[in-house]
Chain A
């Protein structure tokens, strides 16, 4: 107990009842106020859990929490907020129909029935905060129309307007991190949960490492190296993986890849998209050949999502193709079966699964009418034995942590992502359409997913990969197509000369 004025977590234990996972195993932490703390660890290391305990979202099984020297009992996020501790979650829950302003009003303490809400002073307040921290968006915007980053900013705005002193940020995007830097300069305490060891070292004052629900140690960032940190996060064995980028994979590929294999995906002068928004593409022509990965990089709501939806033939009521031709395995979008063309959507929780259904039920979606799952080929009744077998195979092959009967929501984000990928790859499709699959994943999980894709690629699978992360594209793609304002700027071969900066310049 070195510092009585900070935040102290003592002997925190937490086991999730639904799957008996020990998310926190006797974690004791001391966080000094006014500093930038980083919590690092793999998926499932207990990072989010311990911070949710500190923000009152989850109650620990045992353990004590002290804030500024006094013991506190946090049974609800509101308790933590009243103390000045607020958290921004990785996946945010909003009322989609409400505007940014209305969300800020919801969090206000002097909100009373029948009391008139003074919109003008609220707007002035919002404008002032936006100006101070250089945030730009309109308070009249409905939250459902905001992209992920703006939603995070809305949540941050809400915390700032409640005069929060301790900000807990779970996998914040770069924009939020920049504002967090400003807040810290004003004396606020920042706690960031991240996978990214570069961010950890460049941003933080102090790094705390968790592994498998236990505390590995806390270090001042000035005294440690990336190698040391990687080692603490993953153990000696795997740390090499964290340090070497994905580019290593390219080295053993032949450089004579000018000639693409037999093209499986062909887009000719494709235009279309969500005609009510900026999310449109114009005159896109590209081909993806057998055994290659083509990464399309761009800004999400500036055509990337539209192109993904058009190629996948998804949400045809919103995303309309106005002209051009899409052929996948010689057929139109959506005409091939899921076993031929796998699709990993960018919205993994809303589109990729039904959260309250079980792991099995989420898994069998593409094969729900497959006779192999029925008791006999004549009677179309599911056999629990066969369902379980399929599910257990997938869970084992992709080392997904969780039981087949659990609801999807009980799995961690990384495991959900693994499950959705596993589903797409299970029957070895010839074409894989996937979007931003590495988002929020630790390196080990990411490698596992890309390795699985790599194996199928070597057997001739064509991969069309949509991403807004330039680095991921450089790590994983054979060729990179750059999208700017809905138009294809260029398609380049991914050689050693290609850098994130050169692509970034073309995107903007």
Chain B
């Protein structure tokens, strides 16, 4: 009950903050406020996009939750999404045009393997050479982002396009739409399923139990003969696979091609979601919707042209700051 009150309090607080900012920066604060708050739900297109963003955020947040629960920090999400999306796209382009469902499956699996492989490097370095995964994943990501940029805009660039992009995947690779003309496809269903499966694994199965023990108390884990190799590497592998899945789904449902910088920000937002959800995969669902609403809200407010792009970014940042502050405060007082 008190949690519900907390959430209500939180929402009221957001509204007050957003309105105050708009009052200061917008010539038409009331209209901008309306765009911001109700904009995402004003038509099917906006609502669908909100769901589409939420779906990707759920997958990213769930993945990060897993590595956080094991006490591991994966800061390489950006590249794990981006590079594996490119690899998935290239595999998709290499497949026969009418591959359909089979082709989609292959693209998804290849991307997940790529993401998992990148993250696993950090896990291996941590286990074998005691190199902190926070550093190695971040640095590896930095390199891979540039490499992927280069590959898309040079080696695999579609010369017919004005964009820095690879060629488009054939239509048989498109995921089935929900709520056209928005970007929403069945990704939201996949995302919720992934969150539920990983929640189940974490809290109802021996492997998840072992991983949580490992994350909470390494000495107790050793006392119980829990393999530190497995739970240094596996959580990052799962996390990387989730990022890979997110990358593949963005390609298959929205972009249909790897475009330079298309996934920027999702790796970091995954961390934000995991923090808000207190590393609980199920809780990433509401957390992702909250964040997606803020994202879509800034877009609609901007589209209403009463707020500039920069200012909408400022609002977004302020809200994120507020969310994280509130949740950290709650968590500290509980412990």
Contact = CB atoms under 8 A, between A and B. Distances in A.
Interface string B253-286: 0000000000000000000000000000000000
A315 interface: yes
B213 A351 contact: no
Interface string B307-335: 00000000000000000000000000001
A289 interface: no
Contacts of B210: 368
A352 B220 contact: yes
B101 interface: no
Given A354-B213, A357-B213, A381-B200, A314 B205 contact: no
A268 interface: no
Nearest to A350: B219
Contacts of B217: 350, 353-355
Given A357-B212, A357-B213, A381 B205 contact: yes
Given A334-B225, A357-B213, A365-B224, A380 B219 contact: no
B129 to A, nearest CB: 15
Nearest to B221: A354
Contacts of A315: 219, 222
Given A365-B213, A381-B200, A351 B206 contact: no
Contacts of A376: none
Interface in A341-373: 343, 345, 347, 350-357, 361, 364-366, 368-369
B200 A354 contact: no
Interface string B188-225: 00000000000010001110011011001101101111
A66 interface: no
Nearest to B335: A356
B206 A369 contact: yes
Interface size of B as a range? 10 to 19
Contacts, number: 52
Residue among B210, B212, B219 with max Cβ neighbours from chain A (10 Å): B219
Contacts of A381: 200, 204-205
A203 interface: no
B222 A314 contact: yes
A314 B223 CA distance: 7
A382 interface: yes
B223 to A, nearest CB: 5
Nearest to A365: B224
Nearest to B228: A317
Contacts of A364: 209
Contacts of B220: 350-354, 365
A503 to B, nearest CB: 30
Contacts of B335: 356
Interface string A15-59: 000000000000000000000000000000000000000000000
Contacts of B216: 354, 356-357
Contact of A368 (B200, B206, B223): B206
Interface in A372-422: 380-382
A351 B212 contact: no
A334 B222 CA distance: 11
A366 B210 CA distance: 11
Interface string A294-316: 00000000000000000000110
Given A357-B213, A368-B210, 12 more contacts: A338-B224, A347-B219, A351-B223, A352-B220, A352-B223, A353-B220, A354-B213, A356-B216, A357-B212, A361-B209, A361-B213, A380-B205
16 contacts: A314-B223, A350-B219, A353-B217, A354-B217, A356-B216, A356-B335, A357-B213, A361-B209, A365-B220, A365-B223, A365-B224, A366-B224, A369-B206, A380-B206, A381-B204, A382-B205
Pairs A-B, 9 closest by C-beta atoms: A354-B217, A354-B216, A365-B224, A351-B219, A368-B206, A354-B220, A369-B206, A351-B223, A350-B219
Interface of A: 314-315, 334, 338, 343, 345, 347, 350-357, 361, 364-366, 368-369, 380-382
